[in-house]
Every structure is written in structure tokens, then in C-alpha cells.
Amino acid sequence: MRVQLNLKKAAIPGFVLILLTFLLPSHQVKAQEGSRFPSQPLQGEADYSTLMVDGITRFMDRELALSSEKRLSKWTPDFSSKTAYVQSVADNRRRFGQMIGAVDEINFDIEMQYKVTGGNPEKVAENDRFIAYAVQWEVFAGVHGEGLLLQPKGVVKGRIVAIPDADQTPEMLIGTSPGIPKNGQYARILAENGCQVIIPTIISREVAGSGSERMGRFTNQPHREWIYRQAYTFGRHIIGYEVQKIIAAVDWMANQNEQSPLKIGVLGWGEGALLGLYSAALDERIDVALVSGYFSDRTKVWEEPIYRNVAGLLTEFGDADIARLILPRTLMIEYATAPEVKGPPDPLPGAPRLGASAAPGALTIADFKTVEEEVAKAKQRTGPFHTSLHFIHADEKPLQPLSISSIQAFLEQVQPGAVQLSTSQK
């Protein structure tokens, strides 16, 4: 029996080729009594590599389609009270943290370290309502967060972690760097309305550092994929690392609350929305979460960039199920435009390369109906607590990210009785 493996037509993992080598040798295999091999060898000139990949694709598509209902067996929610519900999903929360690699012990005595010039904390920006400082904070040994701290000049009315997309910098969210229009600078708007805001720096989708300067070799992998690939082999994940940075920032805010108790919120867009959603699912101290440009059915996550891949996630958690870990706290989902990623970046011109090694994957705006159905699923699965989930949309047309009306609604959750945003802030 001879099997033709056409590698040009089908990309087959190395371990599958090894299995085929053992199971389908080039010589004829004779069936023996009690053997698990088929009684007759394969016949014909079929391209068995293509047949195998087609079969794997059909199997995976079928399992992905069934995954949403299969997840129900992993949950035993108790809706008798808020306390009972939170306790009933505690094991799900623990498993979720393990899946995303958020397993390291965080240093829960967080100190904000200010960038200092002339013996004083350096002011990155200042207006009549707040001061922006460059800060960093240790999360655990070898890992620290960094970004901006916006400190209101008046009474602090809330504490917020504002998470940018991976193609944005903290400075863009306050308008000191170009890239975001004034009415989209949500961190600045929140600070001008009395919120203490931390804006963490998120690992970007650029490629400049994805390689080895010492070896003179670089890839076209986005920085997020570069870290994802290295972390994966150690049971860690870029998502887990960044979620833990956010949780450490929340811990610093919780320590501030010992003297002046205030609500803690997170909000973000694109990759920042993913991280905000995941952080709120893990940290019960987060009172309010606003997710913009990220919430949908994840059965086609294989079409997204590989750095969003979390092994085994869909066996227990779709976006609707992650929402179950946040409620009965407040979760706000804004149907908005999303970052557009058409595929891997082009290699840097003139740099010695290892080739186009980045995995394929794209990001687009989710279909409204798909998002609406995922929100409905989250509400259905949270029983009487579904009223804490708010779906913000304008018919079926995506909003601009973190619109003024959404920020207003978020502020009212963080600061009950919040004033209407002024024209200058819009």
C-alpha cells in the first residue's frame, strides 16, 4: 500500500505525519487476529493527506458548533441569592484563570513608582482638572506594569483602569499624542470628571522587536504573537500576563479605597476590551466593566490572530459564559467598530528575516445579530441577575468606540448622580 502525502495541498502537523508513518507504512500491512488495523489495506490513488485534513476540518467545525450547549454541563449556577450565585461559579472562575495563564502569585502590596525628575514626580501632562504622571508597578518578580496615572485635582469620585487597544498608547487616550479624536479620549474625559485613572501600556501589534538583535534575525510576528509563542510552552499566556498587570493596578486602587471607599471600574476598546472583560471576570473587586468593540460568538476564533487562542477555552467559556463570571456586578457591552487587522504585518524592509513566520489571522467588526445573540445567551444563563448586563447599540450600526453616551452611562454606574458631560469634554 502506498500513501501519497501532498504537503503542497495540506499543511499537516509534524506529529500527524509521524503517526501516519507508523500507521500507514509504504509496504502492505497484513491484518492479524485481534489487530486494531482494518482488515483490508487502503486502495486507490486518493490524496490521503487532503482527505485527512478535510475530515479534521469537518470534525472541528462540528465540535465548535456544539461547544456552546456542551459548556452548560460545566456550570451549576445557584440563583437563590447573589452570594450563592458567586459561590456557585467559583470553580469556573478558578479554571478560567488557569486557562488564560493568570496563575502567578501577585504582589498584593502594590506601590506606584513615579518617573522622577529633579526629585519630584514628572508630570507628563496637566490641565485645570488633572495631572498625568508616568508610573510603573511591580506585579510579581520579573513582571511589572507601566503606563499613566491620571490624578484629579478635586475630589476623587471613582477609580478606573482605562485599557487601550494594542495599537494605541496611553498618551493617545489623553490627547498628548495624535491618533484619537477629542471625543474619543475616554481616559481624559473620565479624569476631568473626577475619576482617578490608570492607563496601562499594552503590548503592541508592531514587529520591530520580534526577533534577536544579537543574532541579527527577526520575524514578522506581531509583538503579541512573539510573546504568546514563548509564554505558551510555560503554561502562561500574553492575555494572562496583561490581566495580572490590570489586577495589580486594581489592587493598588483597592488599597486607596481603605481610606476613601469608591467604586472601581474597567473599560477598554478592542484588545483592551478583551482584557477588561477577562479582568472583571477574575477580580470581584471590579464593580463596573464597559467592553467596546469586543463581544461575540467565539466559535470562529481560529480566524482571529493566534495570540487570542487559549487552549481549551471553548470547552467551558464563550464570551457569554465569561460574562456569567462578572454578573451580578455591572457589565456594559457596546456594539462598536473594532480594530481592523487584515493579517500578519509585512516584514521590515532591509532586515534579515527568518521568513514570514507569523500565523494568519484577521480582526473585523462582528455582525450585529451575532453579538445580539451572544448577549441574549449571557442574559438567559444568568437568571434574575441579567438586569446587570446592559447592551449599548444604535440599531444595527456599530457606534464609534466608547461613545460619549456610553461614557456617560459608565460614569453614572461609577458615580451615581454623575453630572452630564460638558460640551468641552465632548
What one-character DSSP code corresponds to residue 262?
-
Residue range 109-123: mean pLDDT, rounded: 84
The confidence band for 351, taking pLDDT boundaries of 50, 70 and 90, is low
Residue owning grid cell 480566524: 303
The confidence band for 65, taking pLDDT boundaries of 50, 70 and 90, is confident
Higher pLDDT, 71 or 25: 71
Residue range 308-334: mean pLDDT, rounded: 97
The per-residue pLDDT for 36 is 64
225 pLDDT above the threshold of 80 = yes
343 pLDDT above the threshold of 70 = yes
Q: Which three cell numbers stand for residue 181?
A: 479624536
216 pLDDT above the threshold of 50 = yes
The confidence band for 169, taking pLDDT boundaries of 50, 70 and 90, is very high
Average pLDDT in the chain: 88
Residue range 296-310: mean pLDDT, rounded: 94
pLDDT in tens, 229-241: 999 888 999 999 9
The confidence band for 46, taking pLDDT boundaries of 50, 70 and 90, is confident
85 pLDDT above the threshold of 70 = yes
11 pLDDT above the threshold of 90 = no
The confidence band for 259, taking pLDDT boundaries of 50, 70 and 90, is confident
Report CA-CA distances (Å) from 389 to 103, 150, 307.
Answer: 28, 28, 27
The per-residue pLDDT for 35 is 58
Residue owning grid cell 470547552: 315
Taking the C-alpha atoms of residue 80 and residue 101, their distance in angstroms, rounded to an integer, is: 32
Residue range 12-29: mean pLDDT, rounded: 40
5 pLDDT above the threshold of 50 = no
What one-character DSSP code corresponds to residue 26?
S
* ∠ CA 38-19-46, rounded to 5°: 60
Burial of 373 (0-12, 13-18, 19+ CB in 10 A): middle
The per-residue pLDDT for 66 is 84
